[in-house]
């Protein structure tokens, strides 16, 4: 299926690793040019490697999404290099690192950074990119949320609440930007073996009763079998498949939607 992404320009935040990098790679295989925005020092070298591997133009820049000035500076650099932004994929996010059961195990101070990065980071990105796409009279935005944002997950309450906000704000954006032919959607990963998810699940594992004290890999697979109807972890590539499809003309009538790539987990819960 030709997604007609050749020579389009995609900005991917959090593009140096994980879901962001998998998404960037898939855009590159479709012939799109890319600008990776990430706080990691490796973002420039990752961009160079992608450019060499796929023969498309890829640039990278360090960005702090919580700093509006940093985001605006990245946008200026992007427009100097490419002059436009056709597709935005916003993956940058963090968890609290405090996996409390219940939320009373947390302190109010545990919430601040998560909400700042995950909510205000999205706000800063949206305010920067939207005017460019409005001026073009076209574009797509895909924001990465989580199934945790739909089900009041106890795993990491600050993260869960921030992802619910991401879903809601995406819907606001979709309504406001539709008259300009800009589509906005949210993709919610389920159980993906990212460093964040692994930290969460190891916290669960460490709190398991002695009778459940299996090795981590065996224990986590047992849990996946119990709560994910398809019985398997999702992969970063599976998430990227949905993101790139939603960004393409093949999803030209899809906006304001929240798409779960979760093996049926939300249905099960």
Higher pLDDT, 19 or 204: 19
Out of 159, 169, 201, 265, the active site residue is 159
* Residue 195 resides in a domain: no
Q: Is 77 exposed, middle or buried (0-12, 13-18, 19+ CB in 10 A)?
A: middle
* Residue 211 resides in a domain: no
Domain limits for position 90: 9-190+234-263
Peptide bond into 137 cis (omega under 30): no
Give me the residues paired with residue 87 across strands: 10, 140
* Residue 78 resides in a domain: yes
Each residue's pLDDT tens digit, 124-160 = 999 999 999 999 999 999 999 999 899 887 788 999 9
Question: Which residue, among 189, 199, 197, has the nearest Cα to 236 in the 3D structure?
Answer: 189
| Radius of gyration of the CA atoms of the chain, in A | 18
Number of domains observed in the structure of the chain: 1
Secondary-structure breakdown of the chain: helix, strand, coil percentages, each rounded to the nearest 5 = 55, 15, 30
Q: Mean pLDDT over residues 33-51, rounded?
A: 98
Each residue's pLDDT tens digit, 155-165 = 889 999 999 99
* Residue 160 resides in a domain: yes
Each residue's pLDDT tens digit, 176-207 = 999 999 999 999 999 887 666 666 656 655 66
Reply yes or no on whether 216 is catalytic: no
CATH number reported for the structural domain that contains residue 156 in this entry: 3.40.50.720
> Is 119's pLDDT higher than 80?
yes
Rounded to whole angstroms, the Cα distance separating 56 from 230 reads 36
* Residue 205 resides in a domain: no
Q: Can you list the pairs that 196-201 forms with residues at least 24 positions away whose Cβ atoms lie under 8 Å?
A: 196/94, 196/95, 199/95, 199/97, 199/99, 200/95, 200/99, 200/155, 200/156
* Residue 219 resides in a domain: no
* Residue 95 resides in a domain: yes
% pLDDT > 90, the chain: 73
Each residue's pLDDT tens digit, 253-265 = 999 999 999 989 8
* Residue 107 resides in a domain: yes
């Amino acid at each position: 299926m030709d997604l007609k992404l050749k020579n389009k320009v995609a900005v991917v935040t959090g593009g140096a690793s994980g879901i962001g990098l998998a998404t960037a790679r898939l855009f590159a295989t479709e012939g799109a040019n890319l600008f990776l925005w990430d706080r990691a020092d490796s973002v420039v070298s990752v961009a160079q490697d992608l450019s060499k591997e796929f023969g498309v133009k890829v640039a990278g820049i360090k960005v702090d999404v919580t700093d509006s000035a940093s985001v605006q500076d990245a946008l200026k650099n992007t427009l100097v290099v490419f002059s436009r932004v056709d597709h935005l994929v916003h993956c940058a996010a963090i968890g609290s690192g405090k996996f409390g059961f219940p939320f009373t195990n947390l302190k109010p101070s545990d919430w601040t950074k998560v909400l700042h990065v995950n909510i205000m980071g999205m706000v800063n990105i949206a305010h920067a990119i939207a005017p460019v796409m409005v001026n073009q009279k076209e574009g797509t935005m895909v924001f990465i949320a989580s199934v945790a944002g739909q089900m009041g997950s106890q795993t990491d309450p600050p993260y869960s609440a921030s992802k619910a906000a991401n879903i809601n704000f995406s819907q606001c954006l979709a309504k406001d930007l539709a008259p300009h032919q800009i589509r906005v959607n949210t993709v919610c990963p389920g159980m993906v073996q990212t460093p964040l998810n692994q930290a969460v699940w190891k916290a669960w594992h460490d709190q398991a009763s002695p009778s459940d004290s299996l090795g981590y890999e065996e224990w986590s697979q047992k849990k996946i079998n119990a709560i994910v109807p398809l019985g398997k972890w999702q992969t970063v590539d599976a998430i990227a498949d949905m993101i790139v499809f939603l960004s393409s003309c093949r999803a030209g009538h899809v906006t304001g939607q929240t798409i779960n790539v979760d093996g049926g987990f939300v249905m099960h819960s």
